[in-house]
Structure 1
Amino acid sequence: MALRLSAFLLLLFACVPAGAAADAQAGHYRVVGYATDWNATDARTLDRIDTLIFAFAHVEQGRVVLPDGALPRLERVLALKRGKPSLQVTIAVGGWGAGGFSEAAATADGRERFAQSAAQLVASHGADGLDVDWEYPGHHESGIASSPADRGNFTLLLKALRQALDRESGKDGRHYAISIAVADGPFVDGIDIAAVAPVVDWFNLMTYDFVNRMTPTTGHHTGLYRSPLAPADARSGDAAVRQFIAAGVPPGKLLLGAAFYGREFDDVQAAHDGVYQAYGHYQGEHPWPQLKRDYIGRKGFVRHWDAKAMAPWLWNPRTRAFISYDDPQSIAAKAAYVKAQRLGGIMYWEQTQDPQGELVDAIWQGLR
């Protein structure tokens, strides 16, 4: 679908309750960011954000708990609510390589233990909800336990969590939100999307990491559309959105993901300036400030733009290094897509990787 960058009515960024799905029909698009801490040097960034999701709590012996050292970081994020009362702060449990979900979800007692401990954690710290980041039901690529029964048990786990949070709501009158972090493509076969959709307030689409150390070629790790050079089964933001809508998710519950970091591949085959080429080794990740300081237009790296994928990349012809990332131009394209598709907004990973707020600004301006 061609993107139309037409003028939209000026959108008011008054924050909606955490439990309410983004009302794209009414013109509000949410800006939701994961935050491992808060160290932004420019306080105005906070004015652009609706929800911060603190990462991460873990599942230990079936209970949702904060790991050692997490509490001070969570408290710094929660403290932001004093300066901006409309800010919502939720707590994410899980993350890549974080297990315990399959075991907890396998029995009614386990689901209740998970749900009760999660609700108590949220309410006792004055947070606004829980983000479930099980990567992924029915999959063990990250080294966690999995089972074919995860698909049904995931739905039951979320229903138990909804009931536990609603019991807390009965005590204080608040609505506590549930969101889930989800990937597209083959990673959704372990989720009954149609059954889950009514239970959760919104879906955080992790439309990034499409290429990584586990994939055989370089490529756009957070491309909006499939590049002409990509294989037919290549993942993209648009393909993810279409997959979830086809499965029954209301568009307003879908938040498109943006990446505040790049992925570097070295010893890359030189054809097409390194795009979708075999590589020798995966070098690692670079946060946005490092990309600007050390790579974009520096040390032989040349920025390119894929007008089909709506994605930038860096190519160093001398060292044959390739970097895929999001920048203000690709984020503007994603924002236009969100508005055209009437999605709920944009989610990003991760707040500390944009300390000056440049990429958050791009999201906010694009959704206006």
Structure 2
Amino acid sequence: MKFKTIFSAATVALALSGSALSMVVGGYYPSWKKAQTASIDLSKYTHIYMAFGIPSSSGTFAFDGDWFLPQVVSDLHGKGVKVLMSVGGWTGSNHFSNIVKDPSTSANMVKSFVDYVKTNNLDGIDIDWEYPGRLGDNCNVFDPASDTPNYLKFLQSLRSELDSAFGAGKKLITLALRVQPFDVNGSPSSDVSEFAKVVDYGNLMQYDINGGWNPETGPNAPFNFEQGKGMQVSFVSAIEDWTKAGWPANKLVAGVGFYGRSTIAKEDMSKDPQNQYQPQESVVPLGDSEDASWYDVCAGSTANSGTWQWKHLRDQGVLTSANTAASPWVRQWDSTSQTPWLFNPSTKQFISYDDPESIAIKMKYASSKGLAGAMVWSVNMDTPGGELMSAVRSFGSGATRRDAVPLAVSSAPAAMATSGA
């Protein structure tokens, strides 16, 4: 039976009542997208992460949104929303390894965090290190053996200093987490329970799993992965891997992307419409109207992100409704990844993305596993009316899924995500 998600007034009311009100609804606010965020109702979030503070080699950091931060904090606090500074990100993680291994620079960073929280009346610090123990961006320094244990020591010190300055538990520490636990010597940690003791929430980045870096098309954010196709990690496997390693489910926050990624297929994918894994070109096309070519100084090359924000899939004539494609685009649904995908036979462009239907499936599963709530990258990408946010807030409301049981989780190697989140 084909399932169609319909958000009636009653459904939305249910999503906003009861358990949904106690859930964490976190959203990343990119400083460089301030203007595009003006139309978004941020009162629907419980936590906003200002992105990104960029660390220096000395252990201090700088945020290019300092000029508007006081007003944002004041406005959001007036709506009952907590505000945290997120430090790092894909291109801002190059110094973390060296900072936390040196007692002097580690202490400097702890002090800079505490001082910044105090000066700006923030509710805490979010750290987005991509990634402890493994390479993220090409410029990043990493130490396979020592990053993860050094990170734990740093976080323990940060918790102690925040508690000393503001009172025990008064300020939050949250972390952006890759789809598998922190690496030690090339393998995911088997025990991360000590991290969870000093961290309030871990925000799982369950997206950027497949994309233009792969030889084949595939789902950006699969609910389940398909055995032997694409990266062998998923929304489901991320939750399982972290909880098996000792991170409590009620301190995990499920991550969803309010965007899709486009690539160019080598063949007409409409000839095999049930297969979203087909050979693709290495050159990524431009995405929506906000995408542009950018120069990666670390890689020494210029490329497009191929990103399509949900709002632009809707307002640039790709989708005429949440689940209807405009010709010549054709929408397909993959029963394993539980996500939609689009194909344009004229241009051979493929787009993998999340929509209200696929997000509702993920929220139902995350709720059933006892997670704390959901996190979004990023707040500026939704429609002004909040189509995707309505699906996020269905967490805990009994939203229907196409299938009741996730596929078996593989113990395959982790994905090397290329997230900017």
**Range of TM-score over shorter length:** 0.7 to 0.9
Q: Which amino acid aligns with 1:278?
A: P
SS across alignment from 1:70: coil
Cα distance in 2, alignment partners of residues 13 and 162 from structure 1: 33
Q: Please state if 1:196 is matched with 2:186.
A: no
- Superposition TM-score, scaled by structure 1 size: 0.86
1:83 match: 78
Deviation at 1:340, TM superposition (A): 1.2
SS across alignment from 1:197: helix
- Deviation string for 1:64-84 (max 9, x for gaps)? 4223x3213433431322431
Higher mean alpha-carbon deviation, 155-164 vs 71-80, is at 71-80
Return the structure number with greater helix share.
1
Q: Please state if 1:127 is matched with 2:129.
A: no
| Aligned pairs for 1:66-105 within 5 A | 66-67=62-63, 69-84=64-79, 86-98=80-92, 99-105=94-100
- Superposition TM-score, scaled by structure 2 size: 0.76
| Aligned pairs for 1:253-292 within 5 A | 253-271=251-269, 272-273=272-273, 275-280=276-281, 281-283=283-285, 284-292=306-314
Q: Kindly tell me: are residues 187 and 324 of structure 1, through their superposed partners in 2, closer, same or farther at Cα, counting changes over 3 Å?
A: farther
RMSD, aligned CA: 2.7
CA contact (8 A) 1:64 1:121 kept: no
| Aligned pairs for 1:1-368 within 5 A | 28-37=22-31, 38=34, 39-40=36-37, 42=39, 45-67=41-63, 69-84=64-79, 86-98=80-92, 99-143=94-138, 144-148=140-144, 149-170=146-167, 175-185=170-180, 188=183, 189=187, 193-227=192-226, 230-231=229-230, 234-271=232-269, 272-273=272-273, 275-280=276-281, 281-283=283-285, 284-294=306-316, 295-296=318-319, 297-356=325-384, 357-368=386-397
CA contact (8 A) 1:183 1:207 kept: yes
Deviation at 1:226, TM superposition (A): 1.6
Cα distance in 2, alignment partners of residues 159 and 107 from structure 1: 15
Q: Which amino acid aligns with 1:79?
A: S
Q: Percent identity?
A: 30
Deviation at 1:224, TM superposition (A): 1.2
CA contact (8 A) 1:182 1:203 kept: yes
Q: Kindly tell me: are residues 187 and 215 of structure 1, through their superposed partners in 2, closer, same or farther at Cα, counting changes over 3 Å?
A: farther
CA contact (8 A) 2:28 2:379 kept: yes
1:18 match: none
SS across alignment from 1:218: coil
CA contact (8 A) 2:133 2:148 kept: yes
Unmatched 5+ stretches in structure 2: 6-10, 286-305, 320-324, 398-421
CA contact (8 A) 1:204 1:347 kept: yes
- Deviation string for 1:314-360 (max 9, x for gaps)? 11123221101111111111111122111111101001112512211
Q: Kindly tell me: are residues 355 and 66 of structure 1, through their superposed partners in 2, closer, same or farther at Cα, counting changes over 3 Å?
A: farther
SS across alignment from 1:63: coil
Q: Which amino acid aligns with 1:88?
A: K
SS across alignment from 2:70: helix
SS across alignment from 1:137: coil
Cα distance in 1, alignment partners of residues 116 and 17 from structure 2: 29
Q: Which amino acid aligns with 1:83?
A: G
Deviation at 1:159, TM superposition (A): 1.0
Unmatched 5+ stretches in structure 1: 15-23
